[in-house]
Amino acid sequence: MASNSRITGLSYQPWPAFDPALLVEDTLDIPVQVNGKLRDVIRVPANATAVQVETAARASEKARPFLDGKTVRKVIVVPKKLINFVVA
């Protein structure tokens, strides 16, 4: 090996700079449950309110058959995690 050769391997490259803007998520995937069973996963804005999440979940094509014609006794919204409809 020549004495003037440069080593350019990966281990000699600088560490990537940290950019906190890359960690911010614009949307969230929220599971929609009916009586505790997963029926759909909806995508909502990260800053969506509980009312907006509930509206989007009720409009979901996959969850709608499990909600139509039934009485929703309780709606449980865990912010940024999930929504569960308790139906009778």
C-alpha count within 13 angstroms, C-beta hemisphere, residue 67: 22
Domain annotation covers residue 13: no
HEC states along the chain?
CCCCCCCCCHHHCCCCCCCHHHHCCCEEEEEEEECCEEEEEEEEECCCCHHHHHHHHHCCCCCHHHHCCCCEEEEEEECCCEEEEEEC
60-73: pLDDT as tens digits: 999 999 999 999 99
pTM of the model: 0.74
CATH number of the domain within which 29 lies:
3.10.20.590
2-41: pLDDT as tens digits: 555 566 788 888 888 999 988 888 999 999 999 999 999 9
Tell me the β-bridge partners of 33.
38, 84
The domain of 46 spans 25-87
Domain annotation covers residue 64: yes
Domain annotation covers residue 38: yes
Query: Residue 77: which pLDDT band, with cuts at 50, 70 and 90?
Result: very high
Domain tally for the chain?
1
